[in-house]
A and B are shown apart, each in its own frame.
Chain A
Amino acid sequence: MQLDFNHIQAAHCENGVTTSLLRHTGVQQITEPLAFGIGSGLFFIYIPFLKVNNGPAISFRTMPGMIFKRTCNSLDIPVFRKKFSSPEKAQQELNERLKAGQPAACQVGVYYLTYFPKEYRFHFNAHNLIVVGKEGDNYIISDPIMETLVTMSSYELERVRFAKGPLAPRGQLYYPKENRQVTDEQIKKAIVTGIKRNVRDMLRIPGNIAGIKGIRYTAKKIKGWKNKLGTEKSRSYLAQLVRMQEEIGTGGGGFRFIYGAFLQQAHTYHPVDELIDISKQFTYTGDLWRDAAIQASGIYKGRLTEQSDYDMMGDYLLKIADLEKKAFEDLSEVVKKMK
């Protein structure tokens, strides 16, 4: 059986899952940028003591699961989320949900994700998809990265739901518990909450590895990479930075662009004109992240080899840090006018 479900392609998987599920439950107003902004998705963190695929652990967005959780909380929609130790139980519970005529989202690993191109199949465990039906032994999947619905056998789905390693999904199943509509007034409030939290995360998070300070910290590190790590390793590290930044579907500092789109949409709910200007500021930093990626590629392609090239890469990040700091400070002021 296949549910009546509207597949939505998105720039980012968790945004997409959140948007599709909420639309399905009756939240007609929700869009990908609104989900991202209400969920305070924009972030930066460099975790120096952690390695991912033998390279630096860098993220340009908030922790997996947070966008869905925060967006639902802000809109007063109760959430179901459960991990399983038994694959049989995990499958059974999914089947029951489908039988009840309701879709459910799963966190999965991409290494064994059959429809993904081989080049993308690393052991990355925080991908998200929605199961929208079952026909025989095949599950029908709405993966926000894909243009249309895809299918997976029950074995294939079990394998990705029980992928192992960091952030192991452990069969995780989640969905909004109730179907309900929300008012524009609720959306307005949620926008304000989302902005305030994002301002806090980027400007006032303690420590020096996250938020704006994290971007500066990374800039400093990059300038030292050539001496500290040597050319080979520095190349790999910069390639990894770009891969994290260009995470599937977010091409080119993409999260900054989604945030810019969010602020424009926020303006339709809160006609405060400064929002349009701040949206432009994020479009500009998104463009700068892209320029930085081009600079980094010069190094990892082996065309740029001097210390001055690393310095320039670091300077890009410092400039971005200054601009994003200003954008969030402006936002911190403007949000006070949004009632």
Chain B
Amino acid sequence: MKKDEIPQDPGALGKIAKELSYVVDENGNYTTGFSTGWEIKMKALDVAWENVEKRIAEAKQKVLNGEASPLLYYMELKLMDVEIVAGYTGFWKWQVKKHLKPEVFKKLPDRKLEKYAKLFEISKEQLSQVS
């Protein structure tokens, strides 16, 4: 890439810092330049976020249909999976998987609910709702 070809599109990172790139100058020597962002890259990030939104909406629907506990919704909302939730709460992965079942989740004692509430940064009461 030549220095004058560095893309200067709006980018997510561009809001806080320009990105340093290695490029060649007119004599073919390597130098550095700055980019505000690249549209191709921005769009790839958009696709990733569209997927996140879709997963959140699907999770919400599953909770409303009674197919999953609200844990699934909050997990998706925080971009987490069972491994990450287990990591932060100290539960085993198999426990988290069990808690994803509505009937198990409903019977969880307060101290377990509190761990989830703390992780998702909401109150225990909010934890049972998905809107």
A contacts, CB < 8 Å to B:
9-11, 33, 53-55, 111, 115-120, 122-123, 145-147, 164-166, 168, 235-236, 239-240, 242-243, 246, 248-252, 254, 257-258, 260-261, 264-265, 279-280, 283, 286-287, 290, 293-294, 296-297, 300-301
Contacts and interface: CB of A to CB of B under 8 A. Distances in A.
4 pairs of A and B residues whose beta carbons are closest in the complex: A164-B87, A119-B12, A239-B47, A261-B30
Contacts of B64: none
B33 to A, nearest CB: 10
Given A11-B21, A243-B48, A260-B22, A251 B16 contact: no
A249 B49 CA distance: 20
B104 interface: no
A257 B6 CA distance: 12
B21 A164 contact: no
Interface residues of B, number: 38
A123 B44 contact: no
A123 B79 CA distance: 7
A252 B38 contact: yes
Contacts of A236: 47-48, 51
Contacts of A290: 1
B45 interface: yes
Interface in B1-38: 1, 6-7, 12-13, 15-24, 28-30, 32, 35, 38
A246 B41 contact: yes
Query: Main secondary structure on chain B at its contact with chain A?
Result: mixed
B106 interface: no
A77 to B, nearest CB: 25
A258 B24 CA distance: 11
Identify the interface centre among B28, B38, B44, B47: most chain A CB within 10 Å of its CB.
B44
Contacts of B15: 117
B43 to A, nearest CB: 6
Contacts of A166: 83
A146 B87 contact: no
27 contacts: A11-B21, A11-B22, A33-B30, A54-B55, A117-B13, A118-B12, A123-B80, A165-B87, A235-B47, A239-B43, A242-B40, A242-B44, A249-B13, A249-B19, A251-B19, A251-B38, A251-B41, A252-B1, A252-B7, A257-B22, A264-B29, A264-B30, A265-B30, A279-B30, A290-B1, A293-B40, A293-B41
A116 B13 CA distance: 8
B43 A251 contact: no
Given A239-B43, A265-B30, 10 more contacts: A11-B19, A116-B16, A117-B13, A119-B49, A147-B18, A242-B44, A246-B41, A251-B35, A254-B22, A257-B23
